[in-house]
Amino acid sequence: MNKRDVVELLLKTGAVELRTEPEQWFTWASGKRAPIYCDNRVLISYPEVRTRIADALAEAIGRGFPEVQVIAGAATGGIPHAAWVAERLELPMVYVRGSAKDHGQGKRVEGRKLAGERVVLLEDLVSFGGSALSAVTALREEGGEVIGVQAIFSYGLAEALRGFEAAGLQLQVLADYETLVESLELDQDTARVLLDWKAG
């Protein structure tokens, strides 16, 4: 499956919403305003789509990170996809909470203990990369050797790319922002607004 195929699945399921008027743009948790919102949590509700996405993720990880020994899911959107991918690759799985539990064992990484195994972190979406990089730190602190991050979609923002580079991590994605904009078949002015937003 190529990037255009993946984007078509995102559009088919309604995972992507576009607002062209700046006063109606979405506000992200970071405070940044954006004309597009991609909610890949929607994908889990469509059996055929989630199967195709899981197959594509498993293939991409097997090709890009053949030495992987453990699949990790980032809370919350990456967890179900990590489970499906781990099953396909017949590998152990762990998942990373957004923050450590404030009760019980106080764990942030759930699953069996890691002891130097090579781990790939799976994310449903990467924007600024902060949550993925935080999860990577947690996995490393728990004894995992994180060798890369696999995401369904990335906006490709410069801040995220710098963060992954600084962490010495390769980010692989099934689909990206440019492919999404191309697939929307917008008029030239609207497409330029979307591309300028990312560049700015």
pLDDT of residue 200: 75
CA atoms within 13 A on the CB side of 114: 30
Dist CA 170 CA 48 (whole Å):
29
Residue 70: closest CA among 96, 104, 107:
96
Dist CA 171 CA 29 (whole Å):
22
Dist CA 145 CA 171 (whole Å):
15
Give the bridge partners for 148, in sequence order. 120, 170
How many domains is the chain partitioned into structurally? 1
Pairing of β 109-110 and β 93-96 = antiparallel
pLDDT of residue 44: 97
Split the chain (200 residues) into runs of 10 and give each run's mean pLDDT: 96 94 88 92 97 98 98 96 98 90 72 96 95 96 97 95 95 96 90 88
Dist CA 72 CA 62 (whole Å):
14
pTM (two decimals): 0.93
Domain that holds residue 155: 3-199
CATH number of the domain enclosing 171: 3.40.50.2020
pLDDT of residue 21: 86
pLDDT of residue 138: 96
Q: What is the DSSP string of 129-196?
A: SHHHHHHHHHHHHTT-EEEEEEEEEE---HHHHHHHHHTT-EEEEEEEHHHHHHHTT--HHHHHHHHH
pLDDT of residue 41: 95
CA 159, chain centre distance (Å): 15
pLDDT of residue 79: 97
Yes or no: say if 174 and 6 are a contact pair by the CB < 8 Å rule. yes
pLDDT of residue 29: 81
Helix or strand run (H / E) with residue 75: none
